[in-house]
């Protein structure tokens, strides 16, 4: 009996691999989109970065 290169089983395996691949890619895209939205909603996030940063300091009282 000649060996068939493509068995029905290979189709099922491919469906599994492609399915998982698409699901993972979709998940990555979704988390990326979520990150972009979250960062945009919160606004610029700055903290102490070893040197004082004017934009991260509390607003100063105007000098009298």
> 15 φ, ψ to 5°?
-60, -35
CB of 56 to other proteins, least distance (A): 25
Q: What is the DSSP letter of 54?
A: G
Where do contacts with other proteins occur on this chain (CB under 8 A)?
A: 7, 9, 11-13, 15-16, 18-20, 30-31, 33-34, 37-38, 41
CB of 8 to other proteins, least distance (A): 8
Q: Specify the residue, 16 or 53, whose C-beta has the smaller distance to other proteins.
A: 16
Q: Enumerate the H helices of the chain as residue ranges.
A: 8-42
């Amino acid at each position: 009996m000649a060996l068939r290169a493509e068995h029905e089983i290979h189709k099922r395996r491919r469906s599994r691999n492609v399915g998982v691949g698409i699901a993972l890619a979709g998940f990555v895209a979704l988390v990326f989109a979520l990150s972009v939205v979250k960062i945009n909603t919160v606004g610029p996030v700055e903290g102490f970065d070893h040197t004082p940063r004017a934009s991260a300091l509390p607003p100063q009282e105007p000098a009298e």
